[in-house]
Chains A and B, each alone.
Chain A
Amino acid sequence: MAESAVMGSGSLNAGNRSGSSKTSTSPLENYQLARRRTLQVVVSSLLTECGFDSAEKAAVETLTEMMQSYITEVGRSAKANCEHTARSTPTLSDVVITLVEMGFNVDTLPLYAKRSQRMVITAPPVTNAPVVPKALMAGQKRTHPAHIPSHFPEFPDPHTYIKTPTFREPVSDYQIVREKAASQRRDVERALTRFMAKTGETQCLFKDDTSTFPLIAAHPNSIPYLSALLPSELELQMLEETDSSEQDDQTDTENNPSNIMQDDSGGDKENAVLPPGGGVPAGKVNEENMIDNPYLRPVKKPKVRRKK
């Protein structure tokens, strides 16, 4: 909130500066120009009050600038004071404190306001009210419920938090579903492969045109049979969905907590499930093993007497 205030004043300043340049035509700038002119009128009337008959343009300009700065400062400080006390809108006391802090004797203010020779100035024209760029209006802005004090910030625009259910009829027509699935998949594939082709090395079919049919370059693989023979992850997923029974015995040895707990006694069992040839610990003798296969037997330790 503080920021927006600063921004506001900043934009005012900016408005001033751009106002002096003659190219400005936007409604916002027009509005600011009007404000500035009002301020000038005020300065001029104050000068008249003080008894000046005429003033140089530069002097009026300077005074206007000072006036604007002063008011801006009052506004900024008041805002700061108010936020300091955890409120969002400045109250009278905020302004009073501000003025006091700025070295202004507040007591003189009523008298000054009631002075006789005060000139009445017409309000700035309403017609050129600022055209706020229209925020997305979605639904109605919610007001605070009863338990939230009104000084609390307002709800943000509804579009930032509202879920808008779409009530379109789900497409049940088989043809369209298939059509959609097919074109969607094709689009995804095309986008993906194009992306890969763009980001990596490519080969091309036409020497003059490398972009129309980009082919991802073929890279030799050091173990080509693995990717060619093993089912891809996608296929594995599908297989899991269709039947998970086969997968069980594999995960068994690794993930089953009971297996880990019995590891001391049940190590042989694990042996039976095919350790790689080299990894068989010589210590684990598998007597209870059902399968007697020479390749599963433990490797013997060298005999001392062996010579050859």
Chain B
Amino acid sequence: MNRKKDKGFESPRPYKLTHQVVCINNINFQRKSVIGYVELTIFPTVVNLNRIKLNSKQCRIYRVRVNDLEAPFIYNDPTLEVCHHESKQRNLNYFSSAYTAAVSAVDPDAGNGELSIKVPSELWKQGDEMKVLKVYIEFSLDQPKGGLHFVVPDVEGSMAERAAHVFSFGNQNSTRFWFPCVDSYSELCTWKLEFTVDASMVAVSCGDLVETVYTHDMRKKTYHYMLPIPTAAPNISLAVGPFEILVDPYMHEVTHFCLPQLLPLLKHTMSFLHEIFEFYEEILTCRYPYSCFKTVFVDESYVQLSSYASMSIFSTNLLHSGMIIDQTPLSRRFLAQALAQQFFGCFISRMSWADEWVLKGISGYIYGLYLKKTFGVNEYRHWIREELDRIVEYELKMGGVLLHPTFSGGKEKDNPTPHLHFSIKHPHTLSWEYYKMFQCKAHLVMRLIENRISMEFMLQVFNKLLSLASTASSQKYQSHMWSQMLVSTSGFLKSISNVSGKDIGPLIKQWVDQSGVVKFFGSFAFNRKRNVLELEIRQDYTSSGTQKYVGPIKVTVQELDGSFNHTLQIEENSLKHDIPCHSKSRRNKKKKIPLMNGEEVDMDLSAMEPTLTNADSPLLWIRIDPDMSILRKVEFEQADFMWQYQLRYERDVVAQEESILALEKFPTPDSRRALTDILEQDQCFYKVRMQGCFCLAKIANSMASTWMGPPAMKSLFTRMFCCKSCPNIVKTNNFINFQSYFLQKTMPVAMALLRDVQNLCPKDVLNFILDLIKYNDNRKNKFSDNYYRAELIDALTNSLTPAISINNEVRTVDNLNADVRLILEEITRFLNMEKLLPSYRNTITVSCLRAIRMLQRNGHIPSDPSLFKSYAQYGHFVDVRIAALEAVVDYTRVERCSDELQWLLDLVQNDPVHYIRHKILSMLAKNPPFTKAAESSLCNEALVDQLWKLMNSGTSHDWRLRCDAVNLYYALFGLTRPSCLPLPELGLVLNLKEKKAVLNPTIKPEPGSGGPEVTANMTFTSTLEEEQHVVIEPALSGVAMAPQGLKRKAETPLGSSPEPGQIMQEEPIVKLSVKGRFPGTQEEEDIDMDTVHDSQAFIYHHLNMLERPSTPGKEPSSVEQAILSMPGTPMPLLSKESLSSKHGDHHHHHHHHHHEHKKKKKKHKHKHKHKHKHESKDRDSHAFSNSPASGRSIRSPSMSD
């Protein structure tokens, strides 16, 4: 994972995957199940490849064959239940490290996997000749909770008529949820994909559709796909449904799919996709790498867009008709993002998780270029500023975001991000918000690189990466070229230095290898005698999320005689910078003032006169780092008139937005005039004007007592949007000019924020808004006004102020405030009309729900969640549900209601829509019902247990959701043990345990060839011997063990099951116990009874095993040593392992047993006894098991005789 000097890619696996077949024979929508098989073609890269580790979650595996020989296998997924039940820890530090360890234990990038297959010994010899192995796995999925999502509407008719569909989804590499594979972005292979679906359905997948063939009964058909370009398993996807098909009219190799009845929307939404294609192909001077492209629009999508090799899956809610304005740019942005990810992310994959930033950075960067081209430079700069603000805000609040984490040898002490409550070692342990910020920072850093080496070179680098990859992709596997398709940080940097000849090392070190942003404080003074601007730039690099910046910084000074750029050097100790001014002359005569862009303007310089401090200053305004070439926040002090000049005359939208923000602090008539002028200026960028509206409202409120004239913006709005003859009536809608449409939408919302001296919304304003609603007339408009109406409701919401309540009276209709009554009338009518004539994306319902919650919160109407709960039900449009849930979350916080909190948490566990579950948790985390600091009746042990269970085992099917649960837990209880829990019996031990927990992740077996090899030998051979042992076993340890097993099953929370087969891990555990014992002898007191039992069982078991002569020499002695010094084990993790390893062993005998059976028919008696015992055991574990894969081959020969 370290940045390697050499270009080559070293696989963590002792084999190389070259080709994989995925065949899904049957998809049952009724039962939500899938049956199929995969076949992986692998080349061993070591002699005697005897074990193959693959990734598989959820899948029930029926049989595994290697080159037509039955192969035993073991399935173990430690992520199903992160901390085992006996642990009473409940603190997040402990959980996070255990979770990271669990994810590492199955991380394909470290050569691990949930599924471990033993290569039949007959094939071992083949290793010498490096012959191909074919691993064939039959599997099924039943009601998958992750990986595949079934949408089956509950209506009459056939599945096709019901628009039932299924699609794959997941956070990062999640393909293992729906078929066994090497779920790594760095393991590329070619693919053959076959899907047999109902004749009325379409199966869309990656690669070229070769043919579609009916089955013999003609009721089904099989889609055959070939993907000849080497692709990583996480980039494989599938969507099946009764899709309507649209061949792109401009590009016939591009096909779009949508659900029935939406075809007209699809046509419109996709009508411009070819432009994005053209743009990317042009700037990258590279053809789109795949021979076809497919877009599928599905309902209940996991994210708005997800990109896979040659196809993208979108949310169906991005579709829109030509009448919709607001959604259009949003949808286009998503499409552009998806296409950018086709090049970087799908076609070019990454070597390791640490290289993810390159892919996200490049795709985000070229997407930015597309934005610039399509929406203009203003929009682009505005977007960059927005993204910069977002990342700065996040890092300052939460701590740094690290793009390229390096982990030295997995030691947790070197955790590069100790400030976070989760590990950034794996994509699956990241909080979702962090990951979004990560992507944001990645593309900003790419832009910084562009600033440094020029766009031309940047594009050349991309082109180089792409052309290398496309050469490699056409090669056969044997040429070992495929790793060219993987990007790594070092490779990328090398490319840059080759192409540009520039050294960007410092830049990378600053922004990529290090986390944090820069926080500048600037102020200045003008020295008249020297005619020098004395600029002081200070930094805060001690608070969390900040870092120190040393290097060049650009400062732009607008003087009377023109605009001048200066590059200053920020150094260790220099705070002050003297900048000589160019303009000596005072403004004696009227002269035009040249601006940065060469434009010359007349300015009214009278505003400069009265300032005494800066008398004779020729400075109009000063900007620090105007090009945003540092990831920074600048707080700059300059006089209000300077900000006003900057707002009026600086042509850069970023400067304008900065000045608007600054002017909030200067509520003066001058600021008011400057803002009003901007609002009226229709050449000004509309988003600046929109922002200006809100600033003006704030200024007006600060000036409430001295404000003259009508409420702010009222006359402006009247002039712009109302009839000339009757100024109180708004013109009939005509949204043909989008800029003024957006302004028309925003102004009332901002106006409603106005407050008079009593802190009430002025009556004038309310009536004005009510009139806008009343006279709204959209009959002549080409566009829908649903967003406009929704914003008018938002305006009503904004106008609300807290009710004056006397003696806490109960709110009834009779004592309703007259204004509120009017507002409520409107809301009622809007909400009711929406049932009859629903608006696009139900925007109006969404706004109404928000308004009602606001009325409740302000005490105008009784606070009651039942309305929101009914709107939050499954079956409403997702936006409506989110709005309703947000209201319930808010209610929960305000009223501290445990019923509602419970209701929300139930939804998190049971709602069919993954996105909703995710949103509930993230909304709860954002608006938590209580926090660590405050006492709350909600905070109790039951809740702690429930949340713990949720993140421990209840969310094992969805990485994102699990991290959301962790976030919520963090928001509620912080990192340490929740305060509401009773003190643990042995309070002192807790800390020690924590320390221990930190150490635990060493469970992960070392990657590399040596370690696992030995392990494998040992375990497999030892179990051979154990044949005889099995019968005796109960006599030895059965008394202690049998009830153990049962007990654990019964206690297992949330359906996670005792996993069969831990045997592969046994050896490392043993090692661990040795390591862990010595430093920690004083920790021994802390043992609860569970652990004692478990560990005793563990010891017994190992004694039994290890005493056998065949066991390789070195290990047992050390183990024995460990055991001798160990009365019990304090480590819950260890005991967990011991426990499951016990199960594992049994199963293992079992498999082994089949295996033996084939060859030599001996020991019948023993075997049969053994078999029966295990059959019942297996059945038990099935009864309790939710995990479909049990380590059992149903059709293996020993069962059939």
Contacts and interface: CB of A to CB of B under 8 A. Distances in A.
Interface in B202-247: 202, 208-216, 218, 221, 242-247
A190 interface: yes
B861 A206 contact: yes
User: Which range contains the number of A residues in contact with the other chain?
Assistant: 35 or more
Contact of B876 (A221, A276, A295, A297): A221
A60 interface: no
Contacts of A300: 211-214
A178 B260 CA distance: 40
A299 interface: yes
Interface in B837-887: 837-838, 840-842, 852, 855, 861-862, 864, 866-867, 870-871, 873-879
A216 B209 CA distance: 49
Given A197-B832, A223-B163, A225-B316, A302 B861 contact: no
B213 A301 contact: yes
Contacts of B316: 225, 229
A189 B829 contact: yes
A282 B199 CA distance: 12
A174 B824 CA distance: 29
Contacts of A215: 828, 831-832, 867
B817 interface: no
Contacts of A129: none
A247 B215 CA distance: 38
B160 A206 contact: no
A239 B211 CA distance: 40
A19 B261 CA distance: 76
Nearest to B213: A300
A54 to B, nearest CB: 77
Interface centre among B163, B299, B829 (most CB of A within 10 A): B829
Interface string A210-237: 0011111111111111111111101100
A293 B253 contact: yes
B867 A296 contact: no
B243 A277 contact: yes
Contacts, number: 207
B265 A229 contact: yes
A284 B874 CA distance: 43
Interface in B291-341: 292, 299, 316-317, 319-323
A308 to B, nearest CB: 9
Interface stretch (B662-670, B775-783, B914-922): B775-783
Contacts of B837: 232, 234
A206 B252 contact: no
B317 A225 contact: yes
Contact of A294 (B209, B242, B319): B209
B825 interface: yes
A299 B197 CA distance: 13
B812 A209 contact: yes
A221 B155 CA distance: 10
Given A175-B726, A209-B812, A216-B832, A294 B265 contact: no
A36 B497 CA distance: 127
Given A175-B726, A213-B828, A242-B782, A302 B255 contact: no
Nearest to A275: B245
Given A221-B876, A293-B247, A294-B208, A230 B265 contact: yes
A197 B264 CA distance: 33
Contacts of A221: 875-876
Contacts of A301: 213-214
B319 A181 contact: no
A238 interface: yes
Contacts of A229: 262, 265, 316-317, 319-320, 840-841
A193 interface: yes
Contacts of B155: 222-223
Interface residues of B, number: 90
Contact of A174 (B246, B725, B774, B864): B725
A206 B876 contact: no
A296 to B, nearest CB: 7
B245 A225 contact: no
A42 interface: no
B213 A299 contact: yes
B824 to A, nearest CB: 6
A47 interface: no
A218 B870 contact: yes
Contacts of A263: none
A299 B873 contact: no
Given A182-B774, A293-B247, A205 B832 contact: no
Given A175-B729, A223-B155, A189 B774 contact: no
Nearest to A272: B247
B1163 interface: no
B825 A213 contact: yes
A220 B835 CA distance: 11
A201 to B, nearest CB: 10
B615 interface: no
Nearest to A243: B782
B263 interface: yes
A302 B201 contact: no
A145 interface: no
Given A221-B875, A222-B153, A277-B243, A302 B215 contact: yes
Contacts of B255: 293, 295
Contacts of A299: 199, 212-214, 221
Contacts of B838: 227-228, 232
A175 B723 CA distance: 9
A274 B244 contact: yes
Given A218-B870, A294-B208, A193 B245 contact: no
Interface centre among A232, A294, A301 (most CB of B within 10 A): A294
Interface centre among A207, A208, A225 (most CB of B within 10 A): A225
Interface in A260-308: 274, 276-278, 282, 291-297, 299-303, 306
B833 interface: yes
B813 interface: yes
B831 A278 contact: no
B726 A196 contact: no
B308 to A, nearest CB: 17
Contacts of A208: 812-813
A6 interface: no
B1006 to A, nearest CB: 41
A297 to B, nearest CB: 7
Given A178-B726, A193-B833, A205-B862, A295 B840 contact: no
Given A225-B299, A231-B784, 11 more contacts: A213-B828, A215-B828, A215-B832, A218-B835, A221-B876, A228-B317, A228-B841, A232-B837, A274-B244, A278-B200, A295-B255
Interface of A: 174-175, 178-179, 181-183, 186, 189-190, 192-193, 196-197, 203, 205-209, 212-232, 234-235, 238-239, 242, 246, 250, 274, 276-278, 282, 291-297, 299-303, 306
Closest 5 CB pairs of A and B: A220-B875, A193-B832, A294-B209, A278-B200, A277-B202
12 contacts: A193-B832, A196-B836, A203-B866, A205-B824, A205-B852, A220-B873, A220-B874, A228-B879, A229-B317, A232-B838, A276-B243, A276-B245
Interface of B: 153-155, 160, 163, 198-202, 208-216, 218, 221, 242-247, 252-253, 255, 259-265, 292, 299, 316-317, 319-323, 723, 725-726, 729, 774-775, 777, 779, 781-782, 784, 811-813, 824-825, 828-829, 831-833, 835-838, 840-842, 852, 855, 861-862, 864, 866-867, 870-871, 873-879
